Amino acid sequence: MDALVATLNKIALNPELKPLLAVLKAARNGAVYGAKVRFPHALVMIFLFRSGSVREKVRLVLRATRQHARNLATFAAIYKSTMLLLRYLGPNGYNKEGPYDTFISGLLGGYIVFGRRRGSVTKQIVIYIFARVMLASAKLSIEPGKHALSSFITSDTRTRIKDNAWPVFAALSWACVMYIFRYNPDSLQSSLKSSMTYIYSDCDEWDSLRTLLWHNK
């Protein structure tokens, strides 16, 4: 057994195998992170807002957790594998990363893992990523030296934008989602619609002190 462990450790520390083993570890980390993040969220949301037996709810929790873990693991493996392939086949020379390799790798992984599937978990991940991209893009848009127009933004204007961008973004986001929920609720993602119905619509209905304070219905 000690000889086997020593052999495996030698393989794991082989610098020639490091790029390939990095793909394996990326998939491992994606699966672990996906499970850690999704399990508590699915547990709370499904047991609070989904109907059905305990057994059915547990099955839904495990299915959502497995899907999230699989999605992140698969994307990580595709991304790292494509990056590795482009480094060796690209026009920038042997083992050199090109300026667009990461974009191409993300594009391929995003299409294969998230673009061809439209499940609720997949949509939530993509929407989360999109929101983060928009916030990062907004920050970059006023950073000096990032683009040609940034030279026309004074330091005072940049400070004012930074101080007010988040309050404006937060206020407009909530204004829009409340308007959509009020007039077109079916266009919202199902879990968001369910949560908002519980908070903002069910509060208008009760038939006793019990359903006013202790139980929703």
pLDDT by position in tens, the chain (length 217): 778 778 888 888 888 888 888 888 999 999 999 999 989 988 988 888 788 888 999 999 999 899 899 999 999 999 999 999 998 887 665 577 888 899 999 999 999 999 988 787 788 889 889 989 988 888 888 877 666 666 677 788 888 888 888 898 889 999 999 999 999 999 998 878 888 898 888 888 888 878 777 877 7
- The pair phi, psi for residue 188, each rounded to 5°, is -85, 155
Of 101, 108, 112, 103, the closest CA to residue 70 belongs to 112
**What does the pLDDT look like over 16-36, one tens digit per residue?**
888 888 888 999 999 999 999
* Beta carbons within 8 Å of 126's beta carbon, 6+ residues apart: 110, 114
- The pair phi, psi for residue 92, each rounded to 5°, is -90, 5
Q: How much is the pLDDT for 21?
A: 87
**Within 13 Å and on the Cβ side, how many CA atoms surround 162?**
12
- Asked if residues 135 and 168 have their Cβ atoms less than 8 Å apart, the reply is no
Q: How much is the pLDDT for 189?
A: 83
Give the whole-angstrom CA distance, residue 71 versus residue 114.
8
Question: What does DSSP assign to residue 189?
Answer: -
Measuring CA to CA, how many Å separate 163 from each of 102, 131, 156, 158? 31, 19, 11, 9
Could you tell me the residue ranges of all domains in the chain? 1-116
